[in-house]
Structure 1
Amino acid sequence: MLSAQQNDFITRVGPGAPAGQLLRRYWQPVALVDELEGPRPVRPVRLMGQAFVLFRDEAGELGFIDRDCPHRGADLAYGRIENGGLRCPFHGWLFNVKGDCLETPAEPEGSKLHTRIKQRAYPVVQRSGIIFAYIGEGEPPAFPEFDCFVAPDTHTFAFKGLIECNWLQALEVGMDPAHASYLHRFFEDEDTSESYGKQFRGASADSDMPITRVLREYDRPDISVDPTAYGFRLTALRKLPQAQTHVRVTNVVFPQAFVIPMSAEMTISQWHVPIDDTHCYWYAIFTSFTGPVDKKRMREQRLELYELPDYVSRKNKRNNYGYNIDEQNTQTYTGMGFDINVHDQWAIESQGPIQDRTREHLGTTDKGIVAFRRQLVRAIESTLEGGDAPMLISVDQASGFSGPPSIDGIEKAGVDPVQYWQEADLARRKACDWAAARLTEPAGE
């Protein structure tokens, strides 16, 4: 367990907060590309307790600037896209994507006031359906050449969802391979051929055994945590009959993402991005190693649960996450429906707006969480001292990262689990056009 001071040290993210200073050194997802489609490409964004406005000008250029107009503080999120920038409706001051003030039309003819006005603007890029911004000091790090960033647009799909609690407890669910055997337990196995777009509903690779059965019947995984250049690799082994082993390889990418298998054909790269100390968004990129992603189907599946424009779950703490006692007795372990996002949201939010880690008692299966917190503390302390931190990589270093391998499968009797997941990852890449074209040795070993 941690002290209250230690808990604040790793959870609070506002300007000046230690963890906030660290996270500002990294690119942060701030919106889906979809959110800027339509007649008015302007979105308010709250990130780590600060207010911004994201917009796309008439030329298609992205801008990410402070939200309060430098004239008299009006809300630029209500601005108009016109004349090469975003215009404040209060007095017509106009700002381009670089934060330059182009016009102050209410001023006298010939006024040069606009030349002395600068709204702070931040680097912003579009990657795989997500818009990332950098609000820290100095130059931002490069993007590692992970699968989610190098796969063609046809083979990726991005989505997000709101979680009403601190970012760290949301992230830590992805470092916990053991919870799936209970939180995501289903009492009956569905037809795995109908599992497209659904996590923990298909068959494990190299078998016809439903993942739901694996999780339900074999609930004591042997978990190992191995440090890598990008963070950690977690391997969970479940012993099956006939000397077989279920092998699940997931990854923690510092400082706030994980990469996990969704199915035999897709992986999920997911970030947990602080809105403030007590709210966050998850952003995910689904990456396919087979055919193009059916984006329309994936989006429709998720919009059954998430409501626009703020991507709020229709099942939440205000309606008890849809809890039904009859369902809990006969169909699902939680009684909260068949979408595992609801299960995760309940588990995360039920810990409180900021989990009180002075009261927790970690077990053996929490070794990934322990390892990550130690790395997080070291990185925060280094940042406060003006030092380095993991994954602050250069463009030259970016190409040294690939994958990371994320496998969920069943190895044959007598095969070493490490050998199995390495061979399974290689076979999947060789069979995939875009991945085969860039095969390298696994990074970060």
Structure 2
Amino acid sequence: MISAEQNDRITRVAAADPCGKLLRRYWQPVALVDELAGPRPVKAVRLMGQDFVLLRDESGQLGMMDRDCPHRGADLAYGRLENGGLRCPFHGWLFDVKGNCLETPAEPEGSKLCTRIKQRSYPVVERSGVIFAYIGSGEPPAFPDFDCFVAPDSHTFAFKGLFECNWLQALEVGIDPAHASYLHRFFQDEDTSGSYGKQFRGASADSDMPITQVLREFGRPDISVESTDYGLRLTALRRLNETREHVRVTNVVFPQAFVIPMSSEMTISQWHVPVDDTHCYWYAIFTSFTGPVNKQQMREQRLALYELPDYMPRQNKRNNYGFNIEEQRSETYTGMGQDINVHDQWAVESQGPIQDRTREHLGTTDKGILAYRRLLTAAIDANLAGDQVPMMLSPEAAAAMSGPASIDGIGAAGDPQAYWREADAKRRRESSWAAPRMAALSGRDA
């Protein structure tokens, strides 16, 4: 249990808030690349309570700048994309992707006003179908060479969705290995051959046992948490019998992402990004170690559940998340359909816009959540003191990182670490894109 002041300190993200100051030191997802497709690649973006406009100019350059025109504050998200930049419709002032004012056409002939005007702009980069922006001061950290960033485009797929709650409670559902046995419990097991693109619907690796069966029948995982150079590694063990155990390895990548197994061939790297204090987007990059991702199938699966342009879930609190009494009795633990994102959405949104942690009572299985909160609190304090914070990577340090390993499989009981390390190594050895990198890193360490 924590105080109200401590809760505010780790949840609120305005520029003046301690947590907001910390999160601004990291790259943040702000849009899918798909969102800038079409005839007018301009998009309004809200991130940590600030408003921006994201654009791709006529030459293909990306840019992001403050949304209010520096002339008289009109909304640049409605600007005209022309003549090498974005033009404010109010008086025609034109800005390039770096925020330079190129023209002030209403001013007298020969005016030099535009040379003195600069709209604040921000670094933006594309990575695996997601556009990341950096809105902090100073130099941003380098991107770690994690699987989701080094896999070829053909082997990744990106999507997102809106949660109407604070970012931290949304993230914490992914740091809780125990909830899957309950929140995501299915009373029947589907044919795992039809599980492509669906989480928790396939078979655990090295077995033909459906993950749904494992979670349903073994609801008391033994959870361990260890610190890593990127954040935390969580291992959840479910003993199936005297000789076999289910091993699930998930990761927290500081400050606000997790990497988890989706299936034996695919992982999910997911960020929870504050829109403001009471809304957040999850951004996910799905990474395949085997063949190319069927992007059309995965997109169609998800668009059946999310409405464009805002990626609002079709099942939400306004329609009771599709809750069905008969389904809850006979099909799913929640009665809220087959998609686990809906289950997670209900769980975190039902806690309120910002969870009141002064009223919670944590248990043994919440050790990952406690470890993350300690890590977050220490980083907030260090940042305010001007000390080093996690994951401020140099290019050299970023290039030396890999993985992180995320495994869901069944192996011999007794040595889970040996099992998941070999399962991860085997998957990489057999992957067309991961094997060369694995060999290169091994050679560099030799």
What are the equivalent positions in structure 2 for 1:278-289 lying under 5 Å apart?
A: 278-289=278-289
| 2:6 pairs with 1:6 | yes
Tell me how far 1:313 sits from its aligned partner.
Answer: 0.1
| Residue 122 of structure 1: aligned partner | 122
Q: Distance in 1 between matches of 2:243 and 2:354?
A: 43
What are the equivalent positions in structure 2 for 1:214-363 lying under 5 Å apart?
A: 214-363=214-363
Question: 2:183 is matched by which residue type in structure 1?
Answer: L
| Residue 423 of structure 1: aligned partner | 422
What are the equivalent positions in structure 2 for 1:88-167 lying under 5 Å apart?
A: 88-167=88-167
1:367-394 Cα offsets, whole Å, 9 max, x none, are 0000010010110011111111100111
Q: Distance in 1 between matches of 2:322 and 2:405?
A: 35
| Residue 394 of structure 1: aligned partner | 394
What are the equivalent positions in structure 2 for 1:358-377 lying under 5 Å apart?
A: 358-377=358-377
| Residue 31 of structure 2: aligned partner | 31
Q: Distance in 2 between matches of 1:202 and 1:221?
A: 19
Q: Distance in 2 between matches of 1:78 and 1:145?
A: 36
What are the equivalent positions in structure 2 for 1:187-198 lying under 5 Å apart?
A: 187-198=187-198
Q: Distance in 2 between matches of 1:266 and 1:120?
A: 39
Q: Distance in 2 between matches of 1:285 and 1:22?
A: 23
1:86-144 Cα offsets, whole Å, 9 max, x none, are 01111110000110000001111111110000000000000000000000000000000
| 2:394 pairs with 1:403 | no
Question: 2:341 is matched by which residue type in structure 1?
Answer: N
Q: Distance in 2 between matches of 1:400 and 1:359?
A: 42
What are the equivalent positions in structure 2 for 1:65-84 lying under 5 Å apart?
A: 65-84=65-84
Question: 2:301 is matched by which residue type in structure 1?
Answer: Q
1:196 is paired with a residue of what secondary structure? coil
Question: 2:84 is matched by which residue type in structure 1?
Answer: G
Question: 2:422 is matched by which residue type in structure 1?
Answer: E
Question: 2:396 is matched by which residue type in structure 1?
Answer: D
Is 1:34–1:129's contact at 8 Å kept on the other side of the alignment? yes
Q: 1:131 to 1:421 in 2, by over 3 A?
A: same
Count of aligned positions: 442
1:387 is paired with a residue of what secondary structure? coil
Q: Normalising by structure 2, what TM-score?
A: 0.98
Tell me how far 1:241 sits from its aligned partner.
Answer: 2.4
2:433 is paired with a residue of what secondary structure? helix
1:232-281 Cα offsets, whole Å, 9 max, x none, are 00000000024200000000000000000000000000000000000000
Identity of aligned residues (%): 77
What are the equivalent positions in structure 2 for 1:427-438 lying under 5 Å apart?
A: 427-438=426-437
- Aligned-residue Cα RMSD (Å) equals 1.1
Is 1:202–1:210's contact at 8 Å kept on the other side of the alignment? yes
Gaps of 5+ in 1: none
Tell me how far 1:25 sits from its aligned partner.
Answer: 0.2
Q: Normalising by structure 1, what TM-score?
A: 0.98
Instruction: Spell out structure 1 runs of 4+ moving beyond 2 A.
Output: 440-443
Tell me how far 1:416 sits from its aligned partner.
Answer: 1.1
Question: 1:386 is matched by which residue type in structure 2?
Answer: G
1:207 is paired with a residue of what secondary structure? coil
1:438 is paired with a residue of what secondary structure? helix
| Residue 171 of structure 2: aligned partner | 171
Q: Distance in 2 between matches of 1:339 and 1:9?
A: 33
Question: 1:422 is matched by which residue type in structure 2?
Answer: R
Q: Distance in 2 between matches of 1:338 and 1:442?
A: 45
1:311-356 Cα offsets, whole Å, 9 max, x none, are 0000000000000000000100000000000000000000000000
Question: 2:50 is matched by which residue type in structure 1?
Answer: Q
Is 1:14–1:48's contact at 8 Å kept on the other side of the alignment? yes
Tell me how far 1:442 sits from its aligned partner.
Answer: 13
Is 1:402–1:442's contact at 8 Å kept on the other side of the alignment? no
Is 1:124–1:131's contact at 8 Å kept on the other side of the alignment? yes
Q: Distance in 1 between matches of 2:242 and 2:358?
A: 43
